[in-house]
Chain A
């Protein structure tokens, strides 16, 4: 525990140092990044020690604040979530060092690094906290620090708007969490997590729903996802990578932690999470498919992946309530595995997208093209992540989805309720998988293949050294977590007993039933690589000494094709977005060609978020008008504000004395 606390101290000190040095941007950045990397290395030691010999540690310090205590601990779930936090934070920081270089002379980069360090530290505290007040405090710091990171380019109007949406969403989520922890605290008489045990009955269901909403806002469950597509494009890319890769997973962590406190789940909990998973997964990827902004697309794809995690968790809960350990174990393992996977490939995709934006100056997919020739390494890494996020074997994404499918297949022979849920999970996962292939072939095919569509990509160059290294490491991670999957299973046997409530032996036994198939999957992966190598070798030998020419792409005999004639990403996705038009409501603006000699014609499409447009906006407008009458409270005079606080405190005191 000491090492984790030392890591926290190091993060805060180097962050403060960066803040102090903010006049010297470059030095501030170096200090902050050095602090982060060192802190992550320090923090990784106890995590690894835990996974090697299962050593749980804890530390407690009484604070003289009512209900609060600085009590922290490291158990299975904490150690598991610390893994992606530590790894991705260090990599994103190293990447950010070069990425922020172009702002060094324009803005005070030191401040941004201070908040970056604060964000990492607060995420660590969120997962190690064992006291509700400490947890909520860290949770708020996390939201506020990320708000300042999102609004780094605060001179831009859309960034300001994104920041406000983000902050409002986070505060509303926290309101639910506040209600949640107060009701937990009232039943158990303490705010310490170890007093929260086996809550059952109606209260458990109320707490579960509060957790789904409160943590769902952070995680990005539909319909609470509206902040994601706004905040991610606005933030600098290494921040988006960290936010999408690990910060939204804190919502998943919170939900899982709360589930430990609750007694055995009724069937409808699993059903609710499966329903949320299906809706988030399918709508998330459909909206992703319709986007033209690279980072907005990736943000929607995060919604989809959170949906997959919810599906796995739902299947796990279903297995628990139906009393079928194999389904419980596989569902939970699938969900946790996907948490790890998503940190890996979504982090990589955001860093790759950042490299593209950095080199071309645009996020519009339809303006780009042919970048693979100019940025072969970035392109290769991006391709690996794209294939992994589509769940293609033998990369890591497949293993996570395989486990959830496998859980569902185990439910196929069960009683009809489990059977129907299993089929629903299977069919929707298959649909999500196909749509993900459509979405990511669209992105990679348009951005990296073909010819540059406009002048934007013409001067692009490969990113160098420290910026490229994190991409390569994450790409290797995507491959390794997939191919070496049987070796990673022991990690889950340390996490699962606590969260599923099953004994370690039963968990071990059921995990072993997943290990067998994983060995076969790894072997098939190796087989594909080997066979591919053999075919490539065979092809090369055949072509040796033969005439290999270079020419134009065949375009029905047309010999002067221009890059503008290429298929665009929007056209590529149109059959699918058109098919689901009723759901996603793409807006078109058409200027039709007119007259005998038409001059101008144009077509523009845009897909705004229906939940934002149709639900949140009208509701918030109504609320705004309703509370306008209370405006006289907000007059801007400080002395009256202090009076309000005083009155509130007095009222509390009187209420308490009564």
Chain B
């Protein structure tokens, strides 16, 4: 039995909301505030799950089903994505493709649930959501393909297990470019600054937040938990690459990975504290940069 794989799932399920606490505390530190409790998202989730619900008369089962399908797809994805050096429960050649398309499934239903309300704000958010994926998805595919060429593996667990200090010694420029691509895509897909501001107050300028304006109570809880999971999963693709340390012991590897994820939370918090959000019209340019970085990586990796 693949114990370390189940350990991964456990870590993702339990600790993913924790990272949002880390981000908020980091931001509070930069702003000189005390900040929310580090477990705030857990409290929020607990509270939301105790609430009733209000549904718009316009909505249909798509609106209620969207968050459920999204969470189910992301839960499935936790079984595919390796946590650092610990392989995933399900690993097969080409699981990369399934993972990215599961994210597509999440996006499809999130967009439909937003359009189901008939609100023009949510329509705008949904429209931006599908637009920004246009460069993010090819970029991450190319980035992972470069890693696949470097390691000679075509499953996520295989690729990430083979990324060690030696790989970095041989191909640091390629891996650095890939890391850059994954970081930008990670920030964009999770609606963080510089692509989207999770704390914004104006519906007109939001992306992810505006798509879930009408969701409340239990549904909102499901959505928040799902976005924490998505943050965790895409984040582990980044941390698995930039923390090549492999101890050989599943428990120790898990601790290293967890520490890495916490640092990722701090990095995201720091990014959000020191820079502003890019104008919406400029976001595609940023994502094009990610795509170009991956193309550069593949040119370097041709040899």
Contacts and interface: CB of A to CB of B under 8 A. Distances in A.
Interface stretch (A77-85, A177-185, A431-439, A493-501): A431-439
A444 B100 CA distance: 22
Contact of B137 (A393, A434, A573): A434
A546 B217 CA distance: 11
Contacts of B75: 531
A572 interface: yes
B94 interface: yes
Contact of A402 (B57, B97, B124): B97
A572 B203 CA distance: 16
A115 B245 CA distance: 69
A551 B145 contact: no
A445 B92 contact: no
Interface in A130-179: none
Interface string B115-137: 11111111110111011011001
Interface in B161-215: 203, 213-214
A542 interface: yes
Contact of A535 (B56, B68, B96): B68
A523 B89 CA distance: 13
A563 B123 CA distance: 13
A579 B284 contact: yes
Nearest to B203: A556
Contact of A409 (B97, B108, B111, B131): B97
A288 to B, nearest CB: 13
A423 B112 contact: no
A574 B51 contact: no
**Interface size grouping (class) on chain A:** 35 or more
A547 interface: yes
B60 interface: yes
Which secondary structure characterizes the binding site on chain A? helix
B145 A426 contact: yes
A524 interface: yes
B7 interface: no
B250 interface: no
A413 B72 contact: no
B93 A369 contact: no
Nearest to A545: B52
A49 B112 CA distance: 43
Nearest to A521: B98
Contacts of B107: 437
A428 B107 CA distance: 19
Contacts of B141: 426-427, 430
Interface string A496-515: 00000000000000000100
A527 B76 contact: yes
Contacts of B298: 423
Interface stretch (B12-20, B148-156, B236-244, B260-268): B148-156
B255 interface: no
Nearest to B113: A449
A521 B116 CA distance: 29
B98 A402 contact: yes
A649 interface: no
Nearest to A553: B56
A392 interface: yes
Contacts of B62: 372, 383, 449
A528 B55 contact: no
A369 B62 CA distance: 14
Given A427-B138, A441-B112, A563 B118 contact: yes
B58 interface: yes
A549 B54 contact: yes
Contacts of B213: 554
Contacts of B117: 450, 553-554
Contact of B126 (A419, A427, A555, A572): A572
Name, among A426, A520, A547, the residue most crowded by chain B CB atoms within 10 Å (CB to CB).
A520
Interface string A398-410: 1001100110111
Contacts of A444: 112, 115
A552 B93 contact: no
B145 A549 contact: no
A428 B154 CA distance: 19
Interface string A536-565: 100100110011111111111000010101
Interface of A: 369-370, 372-373, 383, 387, 390-393, 398, 401-402, 405-406, 408-410, 412-413, 416, 419-420, 422-423, 426-428, 430-431, 433-435, 437-438, 441, 444-446, 449-451, 513, 516-517, 520-521, 523-524, 527-529, 531-532, 535-536, 539, 542-543, 546-556, 561, 563, 565-567, 571-576, 579
Given A373-B60, A520-B90, A555-B120, 12 more contacts: A393-B102, A406-B97, A426-B141, A433-B104, A437-B108, A449-B60, A517-B94, A542-B218, A543-B217, A547-B52, A548-B54, A576-B131
28 contacts: A401-B101, A405-B94, A409-B94, A409-B145, A413-B148, A416-B302, A426-B141, A426-B145, A427-B142, A437-B107, A437-B111, A441-B115, A445-B116, A449-B112, A450-B117, A528-B105, A531-B72, A532-B69, A535-B222, A543-B217, A551-B56, A555-B121, A561-B119, A571-B123, A572-B126, A572-B127, A575-B128, A579-B284
**4 shortest interchain CB distances as A-B pairs:** A567-B123, A445-B115, A450-B118, A532-B72
